[in-house]
Amino acid sequence: MLADQLAAAYANGVNGQPQSMSTSPSPIADLVYETCSDRAFDSLILPGTVAKECRALIEEHRRTDLLRSFGISPRHRVLLVGPPGNGKTSLAESLANELMVPMLSIRYEGIIGSYLGETATRLRKVFDYARQRACLLFFDEFETLGKERGDEHETGEIKRVVSALLLQIDSLPPHVVVVTATNHRELLDRAVWRRFQLRLELPRPTQQQATEFLDRLFAQLEFARGLQASIFAKSFRGASYSDIEDFVRDLARRYVLAIPNGDVQKIARDRLAAWKSRACSESR
């Protein structure tokens, strides 16, 4: 890792003099968003199997030295699958926080180029940068790059991109945790699946999980602590965590604007009726 950092600093230096790595801008700022997450893993509501596997992954990276003393490497390739709004990005952020590493999120508008070989070249630049240090490399909407190569409607260029992407993922060292997320598993190339040591599904919340999530959200709002989460959860059958969070935020906005005469129970019923109406129209 240090050798790669020194080589990058020397290559980016002026007149052969390496720049200060702490002050120089990221050489791939137009290709990734680099952030430091503060989302705690315990703040998420996850299926039991998913939570167990993720805790095991975190422990493997925290005790890497022990594993390596036995010639074993920690798992570092994770594929998240599930409908939108159910915590895939949040889970990636929490993993970065628990592992105490920066999170590099791919910017597809910067990665995908219109010229032959341009996308693969930019991808290689991202992977070369990521392997210089411990980090979490996150690909949201992974089907954008990991498309099925057997699709007759795709061009030869996307097939070369998928091949290059898979080779780069294979060559990543264990200190780079790569997390990919997709809403459309059917679009992924078949070879993508076997690249990932952890394949986790994040479904929509059950009624019990929706109740727990609402309880947490209501507890954060002083005026909403009298609301019964279990009653509202029945109305959110089939909704995502994002849908529930949007409802609570909308409730908070309407209540604040109604101060000092706001009736939280009445506003909650009104907002719930509006949400149901919108959900019905979207399902048609």
Domain residue spans in the chain? 2-201, 207-283
Q: Using one digit for the tens of pLDDT, what is the confidence trace for 223-271? A: 887 889 998 998 898 899 999 999 999 999 999 999 888 888 999 989 8
> 205-233 burial by CB neighbour count: b if 16+ within 10 A, else e?
beeebbbbbbeebbeebeebeebebeebb
pTM of the model: 0.84
Average pLDDT, the chain: 87
pLDDT for residue 26 = 67
Per DSSP (E only), the strands in the chain are 32-35, 77-81, 103-106, 135-139, 176-182, 198-201
Q: What is the mean pLDDT of residues 10-27?
A: 54
Determine contact, residues 195/156, Cβ cutoff 8 Å.
no
pLDDT at 21 over 60: no
Residue 20 has what pLDDT?
45
Could you tell me if 101 and 179 are in contact, meaning their C-beta atoms sit under 8 angstroms apart?
A: no
pLDDT in tens, 116-152: 678 888 999 999 999 999 999 999 999 888 877 665 5
Q: What are the C-alpha distances in Å from 263 to residues 109, 125, 210, 224, 227?
A: 45, 55, 24, 10, 11
Residue pair 204/240 in contact (Cβ under 8 Å)? The answer is yes
**CATH class for the region spanning 2-201:** alpha beta
Mean pLDDT across 200-229: 92
Residues 54 and 32: their CA atoms lie apart, in Å, by 24
Q: How far apart are CA 219 and CA 213, in angstroms?
A: 10
Report whether pLDDT(172) > 90.
yes
- On the 0-12 / 13-18 / 19+ scale of CB atoms within 10 A, 79 is buried
* β-bridge partners, 238: none
> pLDDT exceeding 90 applies to what percent of the chain?
57
pLDDT band at 282 (very low <50, low <70, confident <90, very high): low
The answer to whether 74 and 60 have CB atoms below 8 angstroms apart is yes
pLDDT classification of 160: cutoffs 50, 70, 90: confident
Q: Provide the angle, in degrees to the nearest 10, between the axes of the packed helices 241-258 and 207-219.
A: 30
The pLDDT tens digits for 28-62 are: 888 999 999 999 999 999 999 999 999 999 999 99
| CA–CA–CA angle 142, 239, 104 (5° rounding) | 30
Task: Quote the pLDDT of residue 8.
Answer: 75
Enter the tokens of residue 128: 């070369």
Q: In this model, does residue 18 exceed pLDDT 50? A: no
* Separation CA 129–CA 172 (nearest Å): 11
**First-to-last CA distance in the chain?**
53
Q: How large a percentage of the chain has pLDDT more than 70?
A: 88
Backbone conformation region of residue 117, classed left if phi is above 0, alpha if psi is from -120 to 50, else beta? left
Q: Among residues 99, 195, 100, which one has the least CA distance to residue 139?
A: 195
As a whole number of angstroms, the distance between CA 28 and CA 9 comes to 13
> Looking at residue 152, what is its pLDDT?
59
